[in-house]
Structure 1
Amino acid sequence: MITVILPYPPSANRLWRNGKGATYKSAEYVAWLAEAQAAIPMQARGQIRGPHSVLIEVDRPSRALRDIDNRAKPIMDSLKDQKYLKGVIRDDSDTVQITIRWTGAEPVKPARVRVTVTPEKM
């Protein structure tokens, strides 16, 4: 089992932008990915290869209404292997289950995300 604490992610609705005939990562997403991926090697030792389950516990940053499922995509992307950085998981295609929940009803400053990845025996 590997647990990491990540910064609060942007919504899935804000990850990609279109322009000049191409789709690209938004500046907000690029900045968040860099921060999240820098935090992972300092916290995680090793990597889970193969089937795994993921528990995502998200702090509320405010009382504003938010869709919790829009947080899963950037979080899962931050966990996988990158060009020059080994991730917590090889790839999110190995994920067999994702559970995501708010940590509570009240806002937390600064809002963070706790991610626990557990190997699955198939």
Structure 2
Amino acid sequence: MFKLELPFPPSVNHYWRHVGSRVLVSSRGRKYRAEVNSLLRRKIIEPLEGDLIVDITLHPPDRRRRDVDNYMKALLDAMQSGGAYLDDSQIVRLTIEKRNPMPKAGAVEVIVQGVPQETSEFGYRTCLRCDMAFASSGPGNRICRRCTRVNERLPANYPIVRGRKLHNGKPMQ
């Protein structure tokens, strides 16, 4: 487990740049990643292995309206490239909280810890729907039996349309 205080990350709206048909990390994103890398190198943090819980507290630089989810990509990718963990797919629980602003630069407090022993035993995972620990039958099994039964009770013709809105069960044009 370790606790870090990092600079405030760029929004995902400023993290990516489109150059022709390619999508690249912007100069602001590369600069942020370099700052986090140097901070983690100075702290001599060894990469954590196994499932992780990450708690993040955002202290924005000012009182403007901000969506907390717009800052996670830059922050988690920078911590991965800095060596805090091997891959951000190790994160099984992520909590984000926005607090009062810190004038001028802003800051982010991050606590990274392993999953508690009772849920980190071989074969145990955290359900993606209800956040309860359950005995998993393999790496592809990420939903507990109770939540799976709920899914199975849905009618066979239940429309599952991703990315489009439904009106009375039918996709809108």
Give the TM interval when normalised to the shorter protein.
0.7 to 0.9
Map 1:28-39 → 2, pairs under 5 A: 28-39=28-39
Deviation at 1:2, TM superposition (A): 1.2
Render the CA deviation track for 1:31-81: whole Å, top value 9, x for unaligned.
11111111112235322111000001111211110111111111110111x
1:98 partnered with 2:105: no
Distance 1:4 1:25, change over 3 A: same
Match of 2:103 in 1: 108
Give the TM-score of the pair, scaled to structure 2: 0.63
Any conservation in 1 of the 2:48–2:86 contact (CA below 8 Å)?
yes
Distance 1:107 1:3, change over 3 A: closer
Paired residues in the alignment total 117
Match of 1:89 among 66, 72, 85: 85
In structure 2, give the amino acid aligned to 1:34: A
The alignment's C-alpha RMSD in Å is 1.5
Match of 1:66 in 2: 66
In structure 2, give the amino acid aligned to 1:79: M
User: Post-superposition, which runs of at least 4 consecutive aligned residues in structure 1 deviate over 3 A?
Assistant: 106-109
5+ residue gaps in structure 1? none
Deviation at 1:113, TM superposition (A): 0.7
Match of 2:41 in 1: 41
Mean alpha-carbon deviation: is it higher for 48-57 or for 12-21? 12-21
Deviation at 1:24, TM superposition (A): 0.8
Give the TM-score of the pair, scaled to structure 1: 0.87
Match of 1:117 in 2: 112
Match of 1:24 in 2: 24
Counting aligned pairs with the same residue, the percent is 29
Identify the structure with bigger relative contact order (alpha carbons < 8 Å, sequence gap 6+).
Answer: 1
1:12 partnered with 2:7: no
Any conservation in 2 of the 1:4–1:43 contact (CA below 8 Å)?
no
**Aligned-partner Cα distance in 1 for 2:111–2:90:** 15
